[in-house]
A = this chain, B = another copy of it.
Amino acid sequence: MTSPIVAESATLSGVAESATLSGVAESATLSGVIPPVCTPMTPDYQVDAASLTRLVDHLLVGGVDALFVLGSSSEVAYLTDAQRRVVLDTVVGHVAGQVPVLAGVIDMTTPRVLDHARVAVEAGVSGLVATAPFYTRTHPEEIRTHFRTIAARTGLPVYAYDLPVSVHIKLSADLLLELAAEGALAGVKDSSGDDGGLRQVIMRRESSFSVLTGSEVTVDSALWMGADGVVPGLGNVDPHGYVELYRHASRGDWQAARAEQERLVRLFEIVRVGGTRMGGSSSGLGAFKAALHLRGIIDCPITALPQIPLNDDEIGQVGKLMAGAGLL
């Protein structure tokens, strides 16, 4: 079958005028809606494979174009290596080639990332997503070596994960495009929130370099600028919403795309119900899992240690926001 993540200009009439998307039959740019899959857990903090399988089905039924496991929304920073492997095997096995599965290989430096990459390759993923080194104090030339080495050693498409809130470095357009030109990077997942920078990459890239926004709330505008797809954590909760948004944009019905986006912006308020009594990661991930639990998709909304869980009142607020968005 033709991969649903390969953007064919014929199907993208809405953005067909964007030169960056035209005539790329063979270039196979990753595109569409690619949710970063949450990792449901049992009450004793083990990966809940049954719930994870249901979540995958929920996303596939929602019409997503690919899956991204072991991203930040998966609590990858909290998962042990054994748990990461369970996630990989469960999802790749269950998807069975219906859509591409990308895997995050999140760790501090090249050698540790390569270890994760080996496991992911063995599991049969379609591409890898890596951040710049963190914890260490790094130089741009070292970041280049990092991505080059991962690409050279794995043979899979490598996507740079630009996440300054975690990595404390912003990947520059120049660095990304240089690595793209060399073939070391197949694309970028931009979770920097800097849509001016995103646009610079979009306008200067070759068409085969995939630009994906990690934003939940500026997807219509990122697609408008020429982004290829979106990797929204909120897409776990409402995959259908993001798929609709993307389809509206692809058809050129931007008014409908905006209306859908605005509904999702309101829904995204769920990540703030935890307020300041917990870390930002806990608040966001806890809300996604609470929502999935309320929808009946996962058995338990627990998040990994040391995250503070949402309390009943906060889960109630999540429910109200979901009802307001038509989800409950």
A residues whose Cβ falls under 8 Å from a Cβ of B? 4, 17, 45, 77-81, 83, 106, 108-112, 114-115, 133-139, 141-143, 145-146, 149, 165-168, 193-197, 199-200, 203, 215-218, 220-221, 224-225, 254-255, 258, 262, 265-266, 277-282, 304-308
Contacts and interface: CB of A to CB of B under 8 A. Distances in A.
A135 B45 contact: no
A203 B139 contact: no
B199 A217 contact: yes
Contacts of A218: 195-196, 199, 221, 225
A66 B255 CA distance: 29
Nearest to A193: B194
Which of A4, A136, A199 has most chain B Cβ within 10 Å?
A136
A195 B227 CA distance: 15
24 contacts: A77-B112, A77-B135, A78-B111, A110-B305, A134-B135, A135-B167, A137-B280, A138-B279, A138-B281, A138-B306, A139-B282, A143-B306, A145-B305, A149-B306, A194-B194, A196-B215, A196-B216, A199-B218, A203-B266, A220-B224, A221-B221, A221-B224, A224-B224, A254-B254
B203 A265 contact: yes
Nearest to A217: B196
A41 B233 CA distance: 40
Contacts of A200: 217, 265
B306 A133 contact: yes
A112 to B, nearest CB: 6
Contact of A136 (B77, B135, B138, B265): B77
A279 B142 contact: yes
A299 B49 CA distance: 48
A112 B78 contact: yes
B258 A224 contact: yes
Contacts of A165: 137
Which of A135, A149, A255 has most chain B Cβ within 10 Å?
A135
Given A224-B258, A306-B146, A135 B106 contact: yes
Contacts of A255: 4, 17
A324 to B, nearest CB: 13
A307 B143 CA distance: 9
Given A111-B80, A203-B265, A195 B221 contact: yes
A149 B78 CA distance: 14
A278 to B, nearest CB: 5
B281 A136 contact: yes
Contacts of A136: 77-78, 166, 279, 281
A279 B221 CA distance: 31
Contacts of A4: 255
Nearest to A114: B80
A139 B305 contact: no
